[in-house]
Chain A
Amino acid sequence: MSAPTAASTSERTLTLKEVGPAKRASRPDEVVVAVSPAFSDPFTKTIVDVPHAEVIRQILAGIEEQGVHARVIKVWDTADLAAVAHTGARLSGSGISIGLLSRGTAMIHQRDLPRLSNLELFPQSPLLDAEVFRRIGSNAAQYAKGESPAPVPTRNDQMARPRWQAKAALLHLKEFECIVAGRKPVEVEPVISRA
């Protein structure tokens, strides 16, 4: 695996502008994208240097190309992926969410499933690139429409451990430091700008 060369995207930066408390929506044609506490600030890219701006851009594009509305929230009181994703699902009008950790680990969740279950899990963050994020967005939107898409193919790389395991642990610890206990999820407006 190689880190994507981000020449075309390196100048894009992501700001998550706080809009207000994240509320449960009633429109059934939406997917909530729930990001973890350190997403976009202080971290700016995934474990393999995919810029967070690109991650959000691709996920939103994947959702919108299915004609579904997307809403982004930031979860503050946990960095546990299942909890982040399930928080999003409970606020989502369709009951479908995408949970995202700063290092890139992702999950598609549904409100009615137990928290530790999920619709699709992408545990190996080093193997997630722009294309996979777009497909995750697209699949989540299809679930929101009540369809049953074929799961996004998961990849496996036995050499991911020697290369990434320790960095993943480090990123996990750093993300934990950004948790604000008791703070409720916040709706944010993703602003992607060119630096």
Chain B
Amino acid sequence: MTTTENRRSRRTEILEDRPVNLDGFVEEWPEKGLVAMESDFDPQPSVRVEGGRIVELDGRARADFDFMDTFIADHAIDVETAEEVNAIPSVEIARALVDPRASRDELTRIGRGLTPAKILDVVKLMNVVEIMMAMQKMRARRTPANQAHSTSAKDNPIQVAADAAEGALRGFAELETTLGVVRYAPLVAIALQVGGQVGRGGVLTQCALEEATELELGMRGITAYAETISVYGTESVFVDGDDTPWSKAFLASAYASRGIKMRFTSGTGSEVQMGNAEGRSMLYLEIRCILMAKGAGVQGLQNGSISCIGVPGAVPGGIRAVAAENLVASWMDLECASGNDQSFSHSAMRRTARLLPQMLPGTDFVCSGYSAVPNADNMFAGSNLDTEDFDDWNTIQRDLQVDGGLRHVREPEILQVREKAARALQAVFAELDLPRITDEEVEAAVYANGSGDYPERDVLEDLKGAQSVMDRGVTGLDLVKALERSGFHDVAENLLTVLRQRVSGDLLQTSAILTDDFVPLSAINDANDYGGPGSGYRLQGERWEQLKKLRHVTSAEDPETEVS
């Protein structure tokens, strides 16, 4: 051996420069909860029922319950079946989850009685392929879908309207926005709603804000649903945010009272990130969140680590745990908007691998959401996928014959909806006496990529306009009237039909989205009926023909030309 201490091989240098080595990785520290899902410090499953009440949960007597235990024992677990189903060996339940002959109904029945530690015990037996097999069967809605982020680094409403229209046209069933400057919210939420309905009637929109304003925009019909109602797996983290499971349940019922769709948000890693994991694994705590959501009666949950993805992403088996938390949400019969929504890795290969456990089996929303703006404009701090990945995504769908909710759209169609969205917003702003949108801005919106491609807005005037929207009590119906008066009859009709859903309450059903024909598609009328090969959702027929299209495909008829 004649190696010298300071000299590195050329190969090491090349590997050292690979993007994956910019990612952060840490060792596990189970005593503090810095561990994905395999920890000696998680409780052992147990349950005891006396007089119709759970008196022992996962080794803890009722007298020692914290408020999460109390809420879960009293509201999430079916006392009728708890002792029976918890006695089933975990391996039998895990195998039934994977076995296509075991029905989804039977598994949700079993799931309703299980304790958090028992659920963990079951999924710990499953590898990532088995988790995907189970997800394919357990997701609530038969047809998978996708959700987009539509934001602007300058909170520019014209940009948001144009990108919302393009996103809707590309196939996103839900669009989500948030702000850099929070006071801009009313204008940007209006832009998202108008732009979305131009791209495809029936798209649902939301604006992530502090909870009171988010609720108010929902009640006014400026947004169609809500998602950013965060819950946590330990009492200490909950209390830190001045919240309890009951306060979150109360907020949930406020949305339900107006027929507004909503889901909670949680994810592995949040408790340990805040230093209060109470010595439990990330997945154990996330399972408590999932049961809390179920106990609160909400129809769904956004999970998959979400904004804490850097934490499970840095420990061994962390992305397996993230796949498992999505599975548990679906197994508990909740809508699952399954993450893939935050910047995750410097490595394109690793970004894709992180995505497959949701994209391949399909979830209610594969991303929650996919950045339908360049990541530099993403005010959720960047997503795992952005506009530059559209063609890659479409190609992966075509390669694997998997429906990830998007499709290739030819540029003329895209330019057309972008222009119409900007024009519609221009008209709405004029009708509502909001700061003017110029023709120059409309033209910029048609061809732009990011916020830098638009003329600067007068931010102070916009903020005054935003405040006046709140002060004047502008509602979704005012937007409908403004669209109708200015000649955008079809867009007005689309928005009115979306607003009507809150009267019927159909969007309160699990996993509800609206089709192009405004038919609610939910676990009620589009229940997942997967039962093995040849059953369940299959990418075929007209939809498969759509997904065969890419930007560049050589024509078989005339190989000197391309079809797209």
Contacts and interface: CB of A to CB of B under 8 A. Distances in A.
A159 B343 contact: yes
B34 A165 contact: no
Interface stretch (A38-46, A60-68, A129-137, A169-177): A169-177
Nearest to B381: A158
Interface in B309-341: 309-311, 313-315
Interface string B261-302: 000000001001101000000000000000000000000000
Given A169-B273, A170-B26, A161 B343 contact: yes
B64 interface: no
A165 B310 contact: yes
A162 B313 contact: yes
B32 A163 contact: no
Contacts of A176: 275
Given A158-B382, A173-B32, A173-B34, A163 B309 contact: no
Contacts, number: 75
B34 A167 contact: no
**Range for the number of chain A residues in contact with chain B:** 10 to 19
The A interface is mostly helix, strand or loop, or mixed, namely: helix
A163 B22 contact: yes
Contact of A173 (B272, B313, B381): B272
A167 B24 CA distance: 7
Interface string B1-38: 00000000000000000000011111001001010000
B346 A163 contact: yes
A166 interface: yes
Contact of A161 (B34, B315, B381): B381
A168 B272 CA distance: 11
A164 B382 CA distance: 15
B494 interface: no
Contacts of A163: 22-24, 310, 346
A101 B272 CA distance: 18
Contacts of A156: 381
Interface in A135-166: 156, 158-159, 161-166
A166 B275 contact: no
Given A162-B310, A166-B26, A172-B275, 17 more contacts: A158-B343, A158-B381, A159-B22, A159-B346, A161-B382, A162-B345, A165-B309, A165-B314, A166-B313, A167-B24, A169-B26, A169-B275, A169-B311, A173-B29, A173-B32, A173-B275, A176-B275
Interface of B: 22-26, 29, 32, 34, 269, 272-273, 275, 307-311, 313-315, 342-346, 375-376, 378, 381-382
Interface of A: 156, 158-159, 161-170, 172-173, 176
